[in-house]
Amino acid sequence: MNEKGYYGKFGGAYIPEMLYPNVEELRQEYLKIMHDPDFQAEFDQLMRDYVGRPSPLYLAERLSERYGANIYLKREDLNHTGAHKINNTIGQILLAQRLGKKRIIAETGAGQHGVATATVCALKGLECVVYMGAVDIERQAPNVARMKMMGATVVAAESGSKTLKDATNEALRDWINNPVDTHYIIGSAVGPHPYPDMVARFQSIISSEAKQQLLDKKGKLPDYVMACVGGGSNAIGMFYHFLDDENVQLIAAEAAGQGIHSGHSAATSVLGKEGVLHGSRTILMQTADGQVIEPYSISAGLDYPGIGPQHAFLHENKRVKYVSITDDEAMQAGLLLTRLEGIIPAIESAHALAQLEKMKFEKNDDVILCLSGRGDKDLDNYMKYFSF
């Protein structure tokens, strides 16, 4: 990445002038603050005592037996609030405090990032406003309740398709209207520079731990590292410290919804074209006229029409292999993990699990798969799908 936030031709900061001072302030300060020993000490302490890190690297024996390789699950589902999202919100709330911000805004789709943001705002006593698509508010009532209980204001995004992309637009509009006292905690590895890099750095704790954990267990690097990708925050965190290890194959599973070409899909790497979305140049699903196409996935966390700019770059230079998983494949993989290992995964993470079916492993291959979140929030969906 260069100093303007470009990964090859992807990235940058395509933002209106009203956002420039906020984004520029962040760009100038984020690395200084993150490298400050005082910041690092507080971040490490919260990660350990509040989030519960390091998260375990668990050898899933029955799953390994089924696929003929050693499958290690990186258990982000065991974090406080149930997903990897908290790694980033802890980092950004400490940053926002050091920038002197009094008010926090965030966007959320399924509500996991909204909950993680409301959580750190409660922890630090900062005002919190979460934008959520009106449709998602209906679909994700328990997470709306959790945010409210933690004192956050949840604002319905009524524009456009009333889902994640519209919630992101509303959060950006809020930031335009409140440029001085507000920090915007973006939840994925998307947005104008420095967001993709900042989120990747906070989430990179996933791979720094996992790499060491496998070295401790096996004295070697994994052969494969796998994760699901929507905007791409858990995937970039899971890949981060393996990017330079050329013998480690990196695989990202995106949501094909009802089928890549069904018209109900979020398979950006296949269907997307280069363009600008939410402040960065990346790959996104769009019409020939450049209008953003509303994506679809059974998993609200993968239901995003673009991918982060670093992922666009890793896709283009083929360092990471992007694969597409349908709703049905993900749901079956979610049930399989539950029955084999007694772990109910988030439907997002189940997309990565479904890719295991399609891999051709050698007997002693070591595979690390990021179990990015737990499935409690998805119980309704699982119950309906399997008619339990």
Partner 1 sequence: MNRLAQLFNNKEDKDILSIYFTAGYPHLDSTLAIAEELEKAGADFLEIGFPYSDPLADGPVIQNSSQVALQNGMTLEVLFGQLKGLRERVSIPVYLMGYFNTVLQYGVERFCKSCAEVGVDGVIVPDLPIYEYEELYEAVFKRYGISNVFLVSPQTSDERIRKIDSLSTDFIYLLSSSATTGKDLKVSEERLSYFQRIKALNLENRVVIGFGISNHESFQQAARAADAAIIGSAFVRQLENEDYLECIPKFIRSIKEG
- In DSSP notation, 78-132 reads GSGGGBTHHHHHHHHHHHHHHTT--EEEEEESSSHHHHHHHHHHHHHT-EEEEEE
Q: Minimum distance from CB of 316 to partner 1 (Å)?
A: 17
Out of 219, 291, 360, 384, point to the residue binding partner 1 (CB under 8 A). Answer: 291
Q: Is 173 in the site for partner 1 (CB under 8 A)?
A: yes
Q: Is 247 in the site for partner 1 (CB under 8 A)?
A: no
Three-state secondary structure call for residue 138: helix
Three-state secondary structure call for residue 56: coil
CA distance 291 to 271: 14
Q: Minimum distance from CB of 105 to partner 1 (Å)?
A: 14
CA distance 239 to 262: 30
Q: Minimum distance from CB of 14 to partner 1 (Å)?
A: 5
Q: Is 99 in the site for partner 1 (CB under 8 A)?
A: no
By CB under 8 A, which span of 14-22, 64-72, 139-147, 215-223 interacts with partner 1? Answer: 14-22
Cβ neighbours, 10 Å, residue 18: 13
Out of 276, 335, 344, 359, point to the residue binding partner 1 (CB under 8 A). Answer: 276
By CB under 8 A, which span of 13-21, 47-55, 138-146, 341-349 interacts with partner 1? Answer: 13-21
Q: Is 167 in the site for partner 1 (CB under 8 A)?
A: no
Q: Minimum distance from CB of 12 to partner 1 (Å)?
A: 6
Nearest to 240 by CA among 308, 186, 318, 310: 310
Q: Is 165 in the site for partner 1 (CB under 8 A)?
A: yes
Binding site for partner 1 (CB under 8 A): 4, 12-18, 20-21, 159-160, 165-166, 169, 172-173, 176-177, 179-180, 273-279, 286, 288-292
